[in-house]
Amino acid sequence: MVRHYLSVTDFTAAETLVLLQRAHTLKAAWHAQQQQEFPLRGQTLALVFEKPSLRTRVAFEAGMTQLGGHASYLAANDIDMGGRESVADVARNLSRWVQAIAARVFKHQTILQLACFASVPVINALSDVEHPCQALADMLTLYEHRPALHTTTLAYVGDGNNVCHSLMLIGALLGVQVRVACPPDYRPHPDVVEQAQQFAAAHGQQLSITAVPEEAVAGADAVYTDVWASMGQEHEAARRRPVFAAYQVNQPLLRHARPDALVMHCLPAHRGEEITAEVIDGPQSVVFEQAENRLHVQKALLLTLLELAAASQSSH
């Protein structure tokens, strides 16, 4: 049975912690410039991207190179998935040539379909429902600054989007106290909220959702935000701006958090909109650590999934 990573819930809390520790070890080795072995020599990762990308693409490509493998990038017009060729056929073809697929798609259904027909691990590199690789990098960043995750409070302020979904789920899974503040019409999906609340309850925590940013941020260890209009929603940007104006992460809002609270953003950022330049470029910001950590968690994820796939093959 091939293991995929389509949602942060595809790994248990224990597996997720092992993955984060592995990423932390890989990062330490990378910073120490230690001569690495090349465990993925001769292996190829297909990057099937319907949306453009900076962090996800480069972190996967650099990660595969550093592990001795290769990444093959396929943009939307290279494949026209679901148009020129069905998602199922793309998955079947790629499975004959590559050892893993990372897909960045518009619809989550596309990722589910790819995984259904692929005989190699499929990684969700972003869909409209989740952004699990980003959430792993976020948790690694949080873990590095606040190792006792179960005593940590993370406040997310802004749109209840895919990043918010993955953060709520992985945070609750690992025992982080997660609070979300967003406009009433832009709340995260009720099904995701319910699942995250169940994870939180298992840790004696409570996931809270409010329309009041100050309430979410009060005493928080980390304050996280994202763009108000995600990729594919650019036409809504002007309509969203006045609705989200009260949700800007700025110095006055940050005063409600702990004095040493981390400032987090998954990037790209619109300075002056969801966050002020003063805050994102200030001393509490860890946004570029988050960006760097994409490399390390994605390497750890690739190694883990490919090891599991090899173990599964050898047991047959």
- Claim to verify: residue 147 and residue 171 sit in the same structural domain: yes
Catalytic-residue membership of 55: no
Q: CA end-to-end span of the chain, whole Å?
A: 10
Tokens 């996967």 sit at which residue?
Answer: 60
- Claim to verify: residue 286 and residue 192 sit in the same structural domain: yes
Give the tens place of pLDDT for each residue, 223-237. 999 999 877 777 888
Give the tens place of pLDDT for each residue, 96-107. 999 999 999 999
State the Cα–Cα distance between residues 42 and 259, nearest whole angstrom.
49
- Claim to verify: residue 162 and residue 109 sit in the same structural domain: no
How much is the pLDDT for 87? 96
State the Cα–Cα distance between residues 249 and 223, nearest whole angstrom.
8
Give the tens place of pLDDT for each residue, 136-163. 999 999 999 999 999 999 999 999 999 9
Number of domains in the chain: 2
Give mean pLDDT, residues 51-63: 96
- Claim to verify: residue 139 and residue 109 sit in the same structural domain: no
Q: Which of 179, 195, 266, 298 is catalytic?
A: 266
Q: Which of 99, 113, 134, 298 is catalytic?
A: 134
- Claim to verify: residue 111 and residue 147 sit in the same structural domain: no
Give the tens place of pLDDT for each residue, 286-299. 999 999 999 999 99
Comparing 77 with 259, which gets the higher pLDDT? 259
Give mean pLDDT, residues 257-268: 98
- Claim to verify: residue 156 and residue 262 sit in the same structural domain: yes
- Claim to verify: residue 102 and residue 184 sit in the same structural domain: no
For the chain, percent of residues with pLDDT exceeding 90:
90
Give the tens place of pLDDT for each residue, 108-121. 999 999 999 999 99
| E-strand stretches of 53-181 | 70-75, 100-104, 122-124, 153-157, 177-181
- Claim to verify: residue 286 and residue 138 sit in the same structural domain: yes
Give mean pLDDT, residues 18-23: 98
Give the tens place of pLDDT for each residue, 168-226. 999 999 999 999 999 999 999 999 999 999 999 999 999 999 999 999 999 999 999 99
State the Cα–Cα distance between residues 136 and 126, nearest whole angstrom.
12
What global pTM score does this model have? 0.97
- Claim to verify: residue 143 and residue 126 sit in the same structural domain: no
Going by pLDDT thresholds of 50, 70 and 90, the confidence category of residue 312 is: confident
Residue 3 lies in a domain: no
Residue 313 lies in a domain: no
Domain with 14, as residue range(s), is 8-130+294-308
Catalytic-residue membership of 104: yes
Catalytic-residue membership of 203: no
- Claim to verify: residue 187 and residue 224 sit in the same structural domain: yes
Q: Which of 3, 4, 104, 296 is catalytic?
A: 104
Residue 31 lies in a domain: yes
Residue 137 lies in a domain: yes
Q: Which of 133, 138, 226, 296 is catalytic?
A: 226
Residue 315 lies in a domain: no
- Claim to verify: residue 264 and residue 169 sit in the same structural domain: yes
The kind and range of the H/E element at 15 are helix 13-31
- Claim to verify: residue 150 and residue 271 sit in the same structural domain: yes
Please name every residue paired with 5 in a beta bridge, in sequence order, or none if there are none: 123
Residue 271: C-alpha distances to residues 11, 47, 51, 136 (Å)? 34, 30, 22, 24
Query: Do residues 243 and 183 lie in contact, with contact meaning Cβ atoms separated by under 8 Å?
Result: yes
- Residue 270, domain CATH: 3.40.50.1370
Residue 316 lies in a domain: no
Give mean pLDDT, residues 304-308: 97
Residue 95 lies in a domain: yes
Catalytic-residue membership of 182: no
Residue 314 lies in a domain: no
Residues 6+ apart with CB under 8 A from 179: 153, 154, 155, 156, 207, 208, 209, 210, 215, 216, 217, 220
The average confidence (pLDDT) of the chain is: 96
How much is the pLDDT for 229? 87
